[in-house]
Amino acid sequence: MSDIVLGVGASHSTLMNTHWDQVVHTDRAEAFRDALDTARRRVAEARPDVAVIVGSNHFRGFWLDLIPAFTVGVGEVVATGEAGTPKGRQKTDPGFAQALAADLVEAGTEVAISARLQIDHGQSHAIQYLLDGLDVPVVPLVVNVFARPLPTLARCVRLGENLAAAVGRIAGERRVVVIASGGLSHRLPWPSDWTDPQGDDEAFLVDAWINGRGEWERYDERRREIIVAARPTISPEFDREFLDDLANGRLRRYASMTTAEVESAAGNGGQELRTWLVMAAALGFTPGTPLVYAPMPEWLTGMGVAVLDPAAVPASGDRR
């Protein structure tokens, strides 16, 4: 029997790698980076045998020719290495990953599998900052958060609950850390409806999303130009309320939100909150500890880091 020993939620942004020298709000940027380091130490102290990384896809590993709602990397995992993130084959635990995927399907949460999964910064940003220097195999769990129709938030909660149950049934007494990579509020200069792109930039992006398989690098330079030129749209009030709900174990209430409601409140990038819900549900919505919140217009997003430690929460009868 294996066990989930820690949960971590962390925003990601490749602009942190490529545009650090252009940061105006240096105190916020440094606070976020320090919080990532604190979370990395918490992961190290948890002594995990495997890290399940719940992250999003940014059309470097999946394209519109085939994009499942949920995908588990059960074999080889290769990071694209865009924008200074880790590149190449990653250490994995295929036996654990295959058992996890099989149990999830048996429990009614259908996941696709990939025996050769290509990940981008939706997972590799977490590998770079939260697993730096740690010899921990990874199991990517990729959630479709950008190509509608998206999985409902309620289904993401069910996935997290089934993930916890599956880990509990996997032999080997592995200590498992679940990491959510993505969110909080932000808006990317991407088409709201990929079937009806508006303007040349959106038409280019949709073309990349459809035809990028095997040649994503051909599209990347202009993609980066479009993203870097975007105007930041961040909702600090929403982000702070979300982290306050995390601290009080109330994230389940977001399961009733629709995709449209998430976009209205947190932008199209806020759809990545699904990854946080999967992680929180896997931790039983135990109250967590936000380590930082930093609205970072230079990186186009609200940046948050939080840890959920089931060992730190008193039994319900002991809570005041």
Please compute the mean of the pLDDT values over residues 26-45 and round it to a whole number: 98
Secondary-structure breakdown of the chain: helix, strand, coil percentages, each rounded to the nearest 5: 45, 20, 35
Predicted confidence (pLDDT) at residue 30 exceeds the cutoff of 90: yes
Token pair recorded at residue 106: 């048996």
Q: Quick count: other Cβ atoms within 10 Å of Cβ 36? A: 25
- 156 in Cβ contact with 162 (< 8 Å): no
Average pLDDT, the chain: 95
Predicted confidence (pLDDT) at residue 119 exceeds the cutoff of 90: yes
Token pair recorded at residue 158: 């069910």
> Residue type for 279, please?
M
pLDDT at residue number 253: 98
**What CATH number does domain 3-188+230-308 carry, 3.40.50.300, 1.10.1760.20, 3.90.1570.10, 3.40.830.10?**
3.40.830.10
How do residues 136-147 score in pLDDT, each as one tens digit? 999 999 999 999
Residue 319 binned pLDDT confidence (cut-offs 50, 70, 90):
very low
How do residues 59-74 score in pLDDT, each as one tens digit? 999 999 999 999 999 9
How do residues 145-181 score in pLDDT, each as one tens digit? 999 999 999 999 999 999 999 999 998 999 999 999 9
- 71 in Cβ contact with 113 (< 8 Å): yes
What is this structure's pTM?
Answer: 0.96
Residue 320 binned pLDDT confidence (cut-offs 50, 70, 90):
very low
Q: Measuring CA to CA, which residue among 246, 228, 254 is closest to residue 285?
A: 246
Token pair recorded at residue 15: 């602009």
For the annotated catalytic residues, the residue numbers are 121, 186
Distance CA 180, CA 183 (A): 9
DSSP-assigned letters across all residues of 199-267: HHHHHHHHHHHHH-TT-THHHHHHHHHHHHTPPP---HHHHHHHHHHHHTT-GGGGGG--HHHHHHHH-
Which string of b and e fits 152-162 if b means at least 16 CB within 10 Å?
A: bbebbbbbbbb
